[in-house]
Chains A and B, each alone.
Chain A
Amino acid sequence: MSLPGWIFRAPFLTAVSVAVPWFAAALVTGYRRHMRIIGCIAALVSMAASAVLLREAPKGESLYQALMLLFSGLTLGATLVLPRRDCTVRTISGILFLLGSTLLAYSTENLLVLLAAWTLSAIPFLIPGWFRARTWRPLAGVLLSSLALALAIGLIATGTGVISIESLRGQSPGGLAAFGLLVVAVIFRKGIFPAHAWVADQAEGGPAVPTALLLNGHFGALLVAKLIVPLFPRVDRLFPVLSYLAIGTMLYVAIRALGENSPRRLLAFVALSQSACILSGLESRTPEGIAGALVHWVVVAVSTVALFGILRLLEVRFGENLTASKHLGLAEHAPRLAVSFAIFGLALVGLPGTLGFCSQDLLIHGTLTSHPLTGLLLPIATAMNAVSIFRLFARLFLGKRRTGFTVMADALPRERWILAAGVLFVVLGGLFPNAIVVRHSAETDIAEQAIATPADLDLAGKVNGLPGIVRFLPRPAKGSEQEFMAESQLR
């Protein structure tokens, strides 16, 4: 018996990938048993739906489907690796709620839905007793980013009366004010300097694994890719500001991490620093830079969630007062966790043989081509991050054994298998990167053609016949900035 055709249609599959986690979150809240199993099944269904969506997507238009698959896979891994102590109704329901919201944000082409998804994904981090941190800065960061996005979308919607992203492409809707508000939303959500501190506060004061998932939705980069660049192609001379902000954050946070002793904060700083260069790559407008940024997105997401997961496992086993100010010698008790930590950490900072090496290589080439100074600072910041992550590894795992507790288990089979899958992904991805790079390369090849042929930008500023990622590449056009300024003043 064959399945009906509508099952394989994009709207149905997208609805399944979004609705099933939300339904499962509600089920977990009501049923309050078998939380991990329900969470895994929901994430698995989302993953399967995303995989079919990715398979069915046309070449060059599969970016968001790939991100959906990545995020649902991460959620599945996080649900499996979650320590039993953390496997509560609130945690599982919150993670599933976050999954549904994030997939909705990835898949939507509607401004209001994007705003709703953006805000919904933050809700577990706003409610006391759910994932909210003890300090005010995460609350402020998330709220301000949502407020800025709401204002920007309000400006766009009231100015044009249109809420479809596709219809607004290239029209610079809302003028400079909307553009500025969108950038503010990115700064607050992504933790770009000077709004970086909330990320570390959330990592330290909130639950480790859900926080890692929140950060690795990379909504800031998503907003750049989905709205800022495709909607405002005429302000291409202002885009380097994003790149400079990103590289500034990367350096600032990398230096900050050098002296940090709280493992969670240190990890948050390194993750933030490494993820900031995604913006630089996207903004570089070179095929290498864009492909590097997209591959780096994958690497940062997988490595960061795994590192936070391992750190949480260590906290559960050895106490929550872990510190990088002295050597704890945990490798004697947990050698497999130590090796996994080292591999994910080194992948995050670009060790050869891991996928991180390819992404760093492409990013450095891309950014050096477009902004030599940025490209030069990128490897410097990465080198500092490498030192920080190695210092954290050395302090946590090496040195004299701690005394005063009984022998603790190394990675349990459930944890071991999921960590091994992650290690295999970053290592096999590094050995055979073409499988991942080529997918993005297909999009950036067309992007290159788009940059070279500005003629197909018609009078209305719409991009014709250019699929996928190309659409968020601004074409260099002389005088476009002045035109845009004049236009926004007229409005």
Chain B
Amino acid sequence: MSHPQTILMFVVLAPGVVFGILASLWLLGWTPGERFLSWITGLTFSACALGIAALVWTIASVSNVTVTFGNWFAVGDYHFPLVLVADRLSLPFLALAVVLSGLIGQFSATYLHRESGFLRFFLLLHLFAFGSLLAFAAGSFDLLAAGWEIVGITSVLLIGFFQLRLGPVENGLRVFGVYRACDIGLLVGVFAMHHWAGTASFDRGFPSLTGARAVIVCLLLFLAASGKAAQVPFSGWLPRAMEGPTPSSAIFYGAISIHAGAYLLLRAQPLLAHSVLASAFVIFVGVATAIHGTIVGRASADAKTSLAYATLTQVGLVFIEIGFGWKWIAVVHILGNATVRTMQFLRAPSMLHDYHQMHSAIGGDVSSAGQQIEEMLPERVRLWLYRWAFDRGHLDTSLDRWVIDPLLHISAYLAKLDRIGMARTTIQSRGVAPIPLHGPAGLRGD
């Protein structure tokens, strides 16, 4: 194994190894202190950043770096390849993940000082970094899916970080449900690639996937990308995700996680190029999301939510760029948006302080930023738009009404069927109340 290959392997695996060691030691009874956690996090990500710098140097002068570990598992003709790739597309994302994870780690050491979940946060940060690096460095959609799922679960666990409050916990459950539903697209899409093209590796280029097959695979991958990137109609989970601590909101919904969907589509670009229909669909959803994001963001009352919608608007634009095939514009857009939003998210808790500072420095009122574009609309339309924005485009209520409520009603009906022939007393024998017809509230996010 050459040096660049070793470095790539180190960069991807290091956060995962740190997570594994710290988690195992904690399970066996040892709890590391804050200073140690901060130190080990800084050390890990600094070393990874150096590694990334070396990889940038290598790729600029030589070519892509590929590490092949063989197959994770193989049965018959099917195999799950373990291939890591650092190329011109993955490297910017790897750099973004490493640098921002390190920065968030250092920021959080102060921000979460003496917080009861300090260790939990850092463990999840390392796991998230491992998942995102695995997804970005994956040489096939199989491995990308593995990293993708890890990012999803850490995201959900960090939304519920403040576990004593019901809001974050229930919102985490809601986000988990949306993620899992959309990830079906990725699982089935990867299968379709194996079935029709015989591989899910990026390097082969899927020459046999054309026509209807390419459209089906693209749409399946797009379903997964839309879920992770909170595109319309799955945008409802984004404001709920703001319940997590600010540093995690910054790295997940300002930078890495929300752009993972765009990265998936960038990887599927050769397929998208074969499918006008799928590209048109990506553009359509991107436009819808950008409009949705900008309108709803204007009616958001809190800083983090309005920042999240600002990010969403930009991600919608990125999807449009990908749909048009402007790959490198999309990459630059993602890098710029991710960096700026992370900074804005991290400053969000100090917004009032910043405002007062600016106010004192100016020595008077801060002047108005100018006329808002919506003021050009008739008042009736503005009121309608406000109501629409206030309910966040009715996306969550529609999801409740058309998906979750029917499922819970069916569940309650099946519970009734199950009770046939059973005395009521036996059903309640363990002190459990009978299930109400409307089902448990948690799934609805009430």
Contact = CB atoms under 8 A, between A and B. Distances in A.
A102 to B, nearest CB: 27
B contacts with A: majority SS: helix
Contacts of A288: 75-76, 78
Interface in A237-286: 252, 255-262, 264, 286
A440 B75 CA distance: 9
B76 A205 contact: no
Contacts of B426: 134-135, 205
Nearest to B174: A387
B205 interface: no
Interface string A415-451: 0100010010000000001100110110011001000
Contact of A369 (B160, B195, B442): B195
A395 B414 contact: no
B443 A262 contact: no
B153 A346 contact: yes
B414 A256 contact: yes
A259 B415 contact: yes
Given A260-B435, A339-B27, A383 B195 contact: no
A394 B435 contact: no
B410 interface: yes
Interface in B174-216: 176-177, 180-181, 183-184, 187-188, 191, 194-195
Given A200-B418, A323-B432, A416 B169 contact: no
Interface string B130-154: 0100000000001001110110010
B155 to A, nearest CB: 13
B440 A261 contact: yes
A252 B153 contact: no
A379 B191 CA distance: 12
Contacts of A321: 430-432
A431 B410 CA distance: 38
B433 interface: yes
Nearest to B183: A383
A218 to B, nearest CB: 20
A398 B181 CA distance: 23
Interface in A110-137: 134-135, 137
Interface residues of A, number: 75
B194 A258 contact: no
A329 B168 CA distance: 13
B412 interface: yes
Interface stretch (A90-98, A150-158, A220-228, A356-364): A356-364
B28 A398 contact: no
A153 B41 CA distance: 63
Contacts of B402: none
A260 B419 CA distance: 13
A227 to B, nearest CB: 25
Given A259-B415, A288-B75, A329 B407 contact: no
Interface in A297-355: 320-321, 323-325, 327, 329, 331-332, 336, 339-340, 346, 351-353
A362 B78 CA distance: 9
Given A256-B415, A259-B412, A420 B28 contact: yes
Contact of B173 (A197, A257, A291, A391): A391
Contacts of B408: 258-259
A217 interface: no
A399 B166 CA distance: 5
B73 interface: yes
A135 B147 CA distance: 45
A117 B327 CA distance: 64
The winner among B73, B163, B194 for most chain A CB atoms within 10 A is B73
Contacts of A213: none
A363 B176 CA distance: 22
A375 interface: yes
Contact of B187 (A255, A320, A379, A444): A379
A287 B74 CA distance: 10
A368 B27 contact: no
A139 B166 CA distance: 40
A394 B157 CA distance: 10
22 contacts: A137-B422, A255-B414, A256-B415, A286-B76, A287-B76, A340-B27, A352-B146, A352-B150, A358-B72, A364-B188, A375-B191, A379-B188, A390-B156, A391-B443, A397-B163, A398-B163, A400-B166, A420-B24, A423-B27, A437-B73, A441-B76, A445-B75
Given A260-B411, A351-B149, 17 more contacts: A197-B418, A201-B422, A258-B407, A261-B432, A262-B432, A287-B75, A358-B73, A361-B80, A361-B142, A365-B78, A376-B188, A386-B180, A387-B443, A416-B29, A433-B72, A437-B74, A444-B75
Across the A-B interface, give the 3 residue pairs with the lowest CB-CB distance, nearest first: A259-B411, A287-B76, A321-B431
